[in-house]
């Protein structure tokens, strides 16, 4: 998750960022089954955003906001890695109910 976060912090937030995020998230899911639910939810979240703007002009302010939210979720995921189960479950529910725009 730390590697994914470091990479995400270097991105500018165009649609290609979300497609690559999905690819990296799926690799994380395969390599770290203990984080599979979290990775799946993050991949889906990024994918819904990318699908919504596929072929559409993505306003820079919307892109910045979405990238900020996604980065925040990945930061939370990294922070709660060793947190109690109820805290981790709360984060899963939060990401599960979120949209990036």
Q: CA–CA separation, 16 vs 21, rounded Å?
A: 8
State which of residues 30, 36, 60, 89 lies at the interface with other proteins (CB under 8 A): 60
Would you say 52 or 91 has its CB closer to other proteins?
Answer: 52
**Could you say whether residue 12 binds other proteins (CB under 8 A)?**
yes
Closest CB to other proteins among residues 59, 83: 59
Segment interacting with other proteins, rule: CB under 8 A, options 30-38, 57-65, 70-78, 81-89 = 57-65
Cα–Cα distance between 84 and 9 in angstroms, integer? 26
36 lies in the binding site for other proteins (CB under 8 A): no
Burial of 32-42, coded b for 16+ CB within 10 Å and e otherwise, reads eeebeebbbbb
CA gyration radius, the chain: 13
- Residue from 17, 38, 43, 88 touching other proteins (CB under 8 A): that is 17
């Amino acid at each position: 998750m730390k590697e994914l976060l470091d990479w995400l912090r270097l991105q500018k937030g165009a649609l290609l960022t979300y497609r690559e995020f999905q690819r990296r998230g799926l690799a994380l899911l395969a390599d770290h089954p203990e984080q599979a639910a979290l990775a799946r939810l993050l991949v889906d979240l990024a994918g819904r955003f990318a699908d919504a703007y596929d072929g559409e002009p993505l306003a820079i302010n919307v892109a910045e906001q979405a990238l900020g939210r996604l980065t925040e979720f990945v930061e939370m995921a990294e922070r709660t890695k060793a947190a109690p189960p109820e805290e981790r479950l709360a984060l899963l529910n939060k990401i599960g109910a979120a949209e990036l725009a």
